[in-house]
Each structure stands twice: as structure tokens, then as C-alpha cells.
Amino acid sequence: MAKKPVNRHERLDRRITLRDLHILSFVARSGSMAKAALQLSTSQSVVSVAIANLEASLGVRLLERSAKGVEPTIYATTLLMRSRIAFDELHQALMDIERLEDSATGEIRVACSEFLSGGFISEVINGFTERYPKIVCQVTDADATSVEFHQLHERTVDLMVARIPAAFSKGDLAAEVLFDDPHVVVTGAGNPLARRRNVTLADLTTQNWILPASLVVREVLEEAFGTKGLAVPDGRIISSCVLMRNHLLATGRFVTVLPSSVLQYNASQWALRALPIELRTKPRPIAAILLKNRSISPPVQLFLEHLRQRASAHRRRGQSTMI
């Protein structure tokens, strides 16, 4: 068969099926169309049609025929060498899919604020990894100064667990409320206010405040003090580091606001006390936040289910109130 002058890009557009390549590989190994048909449990005519289709699509002769059988031409040898790579990659892809289908293996990437990673999320991760030891959990800090949730949009994380800010706009995000986690005013056991039965917001204006660099906390304080006609106290120390705040609160010299869950996990270790004052502010619940219309891998789905279970247990313990 004479070689046809076919444009290379036109060849790629022509129909070359994996089935025909598979048949060609059997013919080349067996040296006979009849033997290849027997090995493939098909008819010799099916094999002949497959080879003819390939030769027509490529415009080259793939087999040299003789009385002894057939031998692959240089074109067939080149095609089969490349197709072996393609079949191997396809095999690897199928193995990858099988691993993905095994939901008990894989990786999840979670972003959350430090106050959550130091308490509730640590409890979640501990239970999850005990149940699914083959799933790797990568936990990163969420940007406490942003309401844009850029880590989700940049797809560097699979989901975020965060407090929903007042300015939250759903857009392409989906938020599933887990529980409410109200803020409480906290100080060390050595602070004189910790021994009082009645404390007012006015009493707090003269205290040494530790203020976190959090938009949500600023909203809470502005709302709480604003309803009483008071200005938000200036922060003597500005830090979102929970560990640093715990150290400083333990001295008895400072006050701050903490989510009730943080107090739950840190009160006994650092001798922290919640002051007898209620911040009457709009609830800003903790939620699992994901991108809409983004496929969720089996490991992430398992994590979400476990997260819901732990949030439900958290509510039942009465540590926070569901909204």
C-alpha cells in the first residue's frame, strides 16, 4: 500500500480506537491474524477489519504479509511502542480511580481558625484519624482577616470550618451550619473581676484588653458595647494567637473575648474564668464552607459526616446552642 500524504493534525482527528490498537498488539505478538482472533475470542474477519481501519486512518501499511504469517512494519512497531505507554497510563489511571473509590484512603485538606484547631477541630481530627487511619489530614490556618475565603477559591483546601461573618455572601459558596459558638468575656482566676458576681460592660472599659485580629470579634465587640453607648476598649495587645492569649490571661492582668468552645478546652489548664456578663449580639455560627458545584472526594465526604456527628455531640453536651 502506497503511503498517502496525510496532514499530521488530520491524522489525530481520525478515528483510532483503543480496541483496534489492542487487536494490533495481539497480531504483532502472535504473528498471525488467525492466532490473534483465537486469543481474543473473536473472528478473523473482525481482526482484519480492525487492522484495515488503522491502516486507512494512518495512511501507512502496518503489517507485512507472507505465507508464514504477518510481521509488524516499522510504522506498526512505532505505533505499538507509543500505545504501550498510553495503555500503561490508562492502567495507572484506573488504579487511581480504584484508590479514589476506596474512601478509607486518601487525603483531606481543611482550613480553620486557630481557635477551632486548638479545640473542637482537634477533637474532630483525633476521632476521624482513629476511625480512618489511612486518610491523611492536612490542616492549615484560615485567614482570620478575610471574608472572601480565598483558600477555597484557589482550591488549596477542600473545605473550611469557620465562623460566618455578618458580611458573608454565599455566591459560589455553600455554608452548612454546625453549631453556634457564642463569645464570652474571659480573664484569669487571679483577676479581681473573676471573684465578682456582677460585672457590667462599663466595668470592662478600664481593663487591659487583648484583642484578636479578627473581623468577627471586632463586629461582636462593636455590637455589644455600641448597644450600651460605650466605645470599644482599645487593645493593649493585638494578637490572634490563642496560646499567647492563654499565657497572658493566666497572669490575671488581662481580659479578652473567646468563643465558648475555646474556654471549654482551655479553662482548667490555664485557670481561665468566664465573667458573669452576657454579650447580647447576633449569633454568628460555626459552619462547614465549601465551593458549590465542586466534586467532593470520598475521603472529604467521610470527614464531613464525622464533622456533623461531632458537632451534634457538641450541641448535646450543652456547651453551645444551635441556631
For the segment 224-258, what is each residue's pLDDT rounded down to a tens digit? 999 999 999 988 899 888 889 999 999 999 999 99
- Can you read off the three cell numbers belonging to residue 270? 490555664
**Crossing angle, helix 18-30 and helix 44-58, to 10 degrees?**
110
Pairing of strands 235-238, 209-211: parallel
Residue 34 has pLDDT above 80, yes or no: yes
Contact 142, 162 (CB under 8 A): yes
Local confidence band at 64 (pLDDT 50, 70, 90 cut-offs): very high
Residue 156: predicted pLDDT: 86
Task: State residue 299's pLDDT score.
Answer: 87
- Of all residues in the chain, the percent with pLDDT exceeding 70 is 88
Beta bridge pairs of residue 162: 287
Range with the poorest average pLDDT among 35-49, 74-88, 157-171, 276-290: 157-171
Match 492502567 to its residue by C-alpha cell.
Answer: 91
pLDDT per position as a tens digit, 142-162 = 875 556 688 888 888 999 999
Q: What is the pLDDT of residue 67?
A: 82
CA proximity to 62, closest of 79, 45, 44: 79
* pLDDT number for residue 100: 66
pLDDT of residue 320: 37
Residue 323 is predicted with a pLDDT of: 28
- Comparing 92 with 23, which gets the higher pLDDT? 23
The answer on pLDDT for 98 being more than 80 is no
- What is the residue-averaged pLDDT of the chain? 86
pLDDT-based confidence at residue 17 (cuts at 50, 70, 90): confident
**CA dist., res. 150 & res. 145, Å (int):** 11
How much is the pLDDT for 189?
95
Quote the pLDDT of residue 146: 58
Rounded alpha-carbon distances, angstroms, from residue 170 to 110, 151, 286: 19, 15, 15
| Of 79 and 106, more confident | 79
Give the three-class secondary structure for 245: helix
